[in-house]
Amino acid sequence: APTADELKMRKDAASVANETHKNSKLGTPSSHAFSSDVQAAQSIAATLHDHTYGITSDPLTHFACAFSALIHDVDHAGVPNAQLVKENTRISKIYHNRSVAEQNSLVLAWDMFMMDEYADLRSCICGSFDELDR
């Protein structure tokens, strides 16, 4: 049976997933969003497996892969970066036309991760402020 900490971490991860897809402009059904997350996680894991020496056996790496997959489409506009740049959008200006959607997703997800309600999740991942700040 899962421990209380494991249950809390699962709840936090589910909350992050719900928030990221709720804020997406894609308007995709949750089954599609979940499928996209699974595909992203599998791609990350396969890439790490093929190009590293045992790092994929590390539980923190597993978590990082899963969390990366959850946040990869936060606030996605539903169009490719090239279109965002062509339309001279606010976020394309902020990120100097480079990996616009990806950088935006990361910043929004980090802001969410730093919210008080995710303090327990942060403490599971980062043992100290120095570790969080690196």
Q: What is the DSSP letter of 128?
A: S
Confidence category of residue 66, pLDDT binned at 50, 70, 90: confident
Give the tens place of pLDDT for each residue, 109-118. 889 888 998 8
Nearest in space to 87 (alpha carbons), one of 74, 99, 97: 97
Q: What is the pLDDT of residue 116?
A: 92
Domain membership of residue 106 as a residue range:
4-133
Q: What is the DSSP letter of 80?
A: -
- pTM, two decimals, is 0.69
Domain holding 127: CATH number?
Answer: 1.10.1300.10
Q: Beta-carbon neighbour count of residue 123 at 10 Å?
A: 12
Nearest in space to 59 (alpha carbons), one of 101, 129, 9, 119: 9
Q: Total structural domains in the chain?
A: 1
- Give helix 59-71 / helix 100-113 axis angle, nearest 10°: 120
Q: What is the pLDDT of residue 94?
A: 97
Give the tens place of pLDDT for each residue, 79-106. 899 999 999 999 999 999 999 998 998 8
Indicate whether 129 pLDDT > 50: yes
- Which run of H or of E encompasses 76? none
Q: What is the pLDDT of residue 90?
A: 95
Give the tens place of pLDDT for each residue, 29-61. 444 565 676 777 777 777 776 666 666 667 777
Nearest in space to 69 (alpha carbons), one of 52, 48, 97, 93: 48
Q: Which amino acid is at 104?
A: N
Distance between CA atoms of 36 and 98, rounded to whole angstroms?
22
Which residue shows structure tokens 């599609």?
A: 32
